[in-house]
Each structure stands twice: as C-alpha cells, then as structure tokens.
Structure 1
Amino acid sequence: MFDNLPRGTICIEDIEMGMSRYLQKQVTDRDIEMFAEVSTDRNPVHLDEDYAQETIFEGRIAHGMLTAGLISAVIGEQLPGHGTVYLGQSLKFLGPVRPGDTVRAEVTVTGIDHAKRRVTLDCRCEVDGKLVLAGEAKVLAPSRKFD
C-alpha cells in the first residue's frame, strides 16, 4: 500500500528550491519475487532465507534497485511528475531493506536550471527513520510551453 501526496505533474515554471515529495511503501515478499522475475536477478540473498541467514545480512533483503525504484516512482509521479525524463542518478546503498519494512522514499529540489528545464534532486530512502539509500537525480522537467 502506498501512502503519498497527490500524483500529477509540477512543471518547471512552478518548481521551487526545497520543494519535496515522498511516498511510503511496505516491501512485500511478492514485491521481491516480482522484481526478481522482471530483472532476472535471482540472487538467493533475496529469495532463499536459509542461504541469506549465512550472509552478512543474516536474513533475506530486498534488491537495492527495488528500493531505488521507489525514488523513480516519486520523480515520475509527483516531482516533477508525468513527462519527466531521467538524465542521471547516483545512489549509495547504506543499509538493507527487509521483507515487511516500510520504506519512505523522498526527493527534494536542490538545483534548478529554468533555461534548460533541468532539475537536481536530493534522493533518500529511510526505514524506521534510518537512512538506507541516498543519492542525487538529474532530470528534465516538463514545461507548460511544450503542452
């Protein structure tokens, strides 16, 4: 289940420094299994509890890119929203996300180039207030001039 702000589009003309949007999602076993199927990443640390118990994580974890995908969802659905084009993304994985964890994915505007329609976003994911992913995205924002 998602807990988030309204979806839609914020055009470059309306984006402001410090603007922020987020979503929250509980990561389920089904999410992990579906991500493994779609990505073809079937690393047993994600799918096999017995195997995962013997790793540094001492249990199953979600794919890092599944967590990162929540950042993509905020960008593509909320800020800037529909019509946004990804230009780049940096990521640091700082902690595991486990089945059942609720992830809060948030993006905040840290740079705007109105002339080029470019927006820089600070990206972060937290579980229980602990940072598990941090990074920066650069995107091309939609514009009312091109509607």
Structure 2
Amino acid sequence: MLRPPAVTELMETAERVAPDADAFAVARTLDDPDVESVVVVEDGELVGIVAQSDAVALLVDDRDPDALVAADVMSSPVHTVDANESIVAAAERLRTHGIGSLPVLDDGELVGIITASLLSQHIPHVRRPARDVDAAEDVVRQTDRADTAYEKADWEFEYVGHQGHIDVGDVVRFSKSLDETEVEEFADASGDTNRLHLDDEYARGTRFGRRIVHGTLVAGVVSAALARLPGLIVYLSQQVSYLGPVDVGERVTAECEVVEKLGDDRYRLTTTVTDSDDETVIDGEAVVIADPVPETA
C-alpha cells in the first residue's frame, strides 16, 4: 500500500505562550489569519491550547479583561497527534473531536502543529461528523432497488436514510469487484492505456510490483453509490485523495454520507472507498443535486 504522508511533512511551527501570558496579547496573535491556535507551554510541557473561538470569549467574559491570562481562556486537556502518525489519522481526530488544530508531539516534546485548514488542502473530508440519521422517524434501510436499469449478482448496496428523499446523516454503500475485463474495457473506453494497468512484466518493475486498477475506475464506485440515493442524483463536483492502490480483481466498497444541506436541492457528502482489507484507498467529498425522479410513460 502507498502510505499517506506523516503529519511532520505538513505541520507548521507552533506559536507558544506561557500560562501567565496576557490574554489580549494572545488574542492579537490569533488575529493573524495564518495563526489558528496558540499552544500554552509550562516548563516545556504542553498544558493547553487557545483557539480563535477561545479568544472570542474575551469579548463576553464578565471578569476584568485586564486580569485575564492565557490559562484563563485555554482549552485543556489537549488533543494531540504523534509525529509518526499519518495526516489521515490527524484528520480523523480533528473530525471526531470537532476541533481545528492538533499539536504534534515527538516522544512527548512539542515539535509543531497541524490544522484542519492545512489538512483540507490534502484530505477534503476534514469536516464535522454528520447527524445521526437513526433519530429520524422516516428512516429506511434498503438493499435492493427497482428503479435502476439493471443490477448484477456481484454488486451489493445498502442505503440507510430517509424515505423518498435524502437529508443530512444518510449513508449509502456500494460494493463490487474490479476484474480483469473491466480494467481492459476501462482502458479502451477512457484511452488510459498506461502499461501499469495492462502489462504484468512492465508493472513488476514499478514501485507497486504488480498491475493495479486505474484510480479513476476505483473512484467510479463512488458514482455508483451516489446513483442509489433516493431521487435523480446529478454530480456537481468531486474532490479525491488517492491513498493506496487496488489490485486487479479486488473487491472495493464506496461509502457516501450526506453531511451538509447547501440549499436548492444541493448536498455535500463525504466519499470514501475501501479495499477488501478495509483499508481506505480513496477519500474525498462530493456535491450533488437531488432532483425528483422523472415520471415515465
């Protein structure tokens, strides 16, 4: 597998202050658009973090603002990420905890900071968790559809969401194998005849050591999943991060989750593809329009 970069490859220098630093001085530091958080360090140990949202509290605090120090407005304990962890692990931690920054530690020592805005340039899915769809009264679970043109025995899908329409929290999964015939047909249809995908001898000399499936063909299962959401789904955009190769003949699963309603029947979804070992090989997000299904004669 290709491995995503370690956080040390993307991290930035952390702005540091002492716990007794003037809180308004910290707020002025956070006024810099390039500074999303300031870490609070005492005797070389990380004790807190002040984010831009914490600085806003200075405006509404009932205490004497001149007496406030960093320790009064910092968040503690601090969620961190180890220097040898990947940017994918960092992104998941940010998303799980709903925070914007993670100090990076190497053997317990602060060596930098990684932020959601920085990670979003490399992993588009750094977003808040979606609402739990099971709380909705009209939730359904579907594993077959009558309105698709055809289904094959090898294909599997599951939709957990709202009856007749999509909404935040809905999840759809689609799974299929990407076999030799499909790889060859995709090469012919797309014109991508890179020998990495078609020539065993050539592929053995590459970094992968064997033939792999076209990345765009793997990403195509995301489109297949989206097509099984309620309504007529129209793609508007797709952001993709390729995290690892897929072997010819391997089974992959796309999972799409509706995370935001944008208005005008537009929705934003996180989109991932995993391989047969449940390793994430594609990560990203999409924006779609969900129109009513047209009536047929």
How far off is 1:104 after superposition? 0.7
User: Does the alignment pair 1:95 with 2:248?
Assistant: no
**Identity percentage of aligned residues:** 36
Q: What secondary structure, in the 3-state scheme, does the structure 1 residue paired with 2:291 have?
A: coil
Q: Which runs of 5+ in 1 are unaligned?
A: none
- 1:5 Cα offset (Å): 2.8
Match of 1:66 among 217, 227, 231: 217
Distance in 2 (alpha carbons) for counterparts of 1:80 and 1:107: 13
Q: 1:108 — aligned with what?
A: 257
Letter in 2 for 1:79: L
Whole-Å Cα distance in 1 between the matches of residues 156 and 289 of structure 2?
26
- Structure 1 residue 125, shift from structure 2 partner: 0.3
Q: How does 1:1-147 map to 2 (within 5 A)?
A: 1-5=154-158, 14-76=165-227, 78-81=228-231, 83-113=232-262, 115-127=263-275, 128-143=277-292
TM-score, length of structure 2 as denominator length: 0.44
Gaps of 5+ in 2: 1-153
Amino acid at match of 1:23: F
Greater per-residue strand proportion: 1
Distance change in 2, residues 1:66/1:2 (3 Å): same
- Give the structure, 1 or 2, with the largest relative contact order (CA under 8 Å, sep 6 or more): 1
Distance apart, 1:143 and its partner CA: 3.3
1:16, distance to aligned residue in structure 2 (A): 2.3
For 1:91-124, what per-residue CA distance to the aligned partner results, in whole angstroms no more than 9, with x for missing partners? Answer: 01100011121101110001113x4100111000
Size of the alignment, in residue pairs?
138
Query: How far is the alpha carbon of 1:139 from its aligned partner?
Result: 0.5
Whether the aligned pair in 2 keeps the contact of 1:80 and 1:142 (CA below 8 Å) is no
Poorly superposed stretches of 4+, deviation over 6 Å: none
SS in 1 for 2:174: strand
Q: Look up the SS of the partner of 1:51 in the other structure.
A: helix
- Is the deviation greater in 123-132 or in 16-25? 16-25
- Secondary structure, aligned partner of 1:109: strand
In 1: Cα distance, 2:289 partner to 2:264 partner: 8
Tell me which amino acid in the other structure corresponds to 2:229.
L
Aligned partners of 1:120, 1:140: CA distance in 2, in Å? Answer: 9
Q: CA deviation at 1:45?
A: 0.2
Contact 1:27 1:103 in 2 (8 A): yes
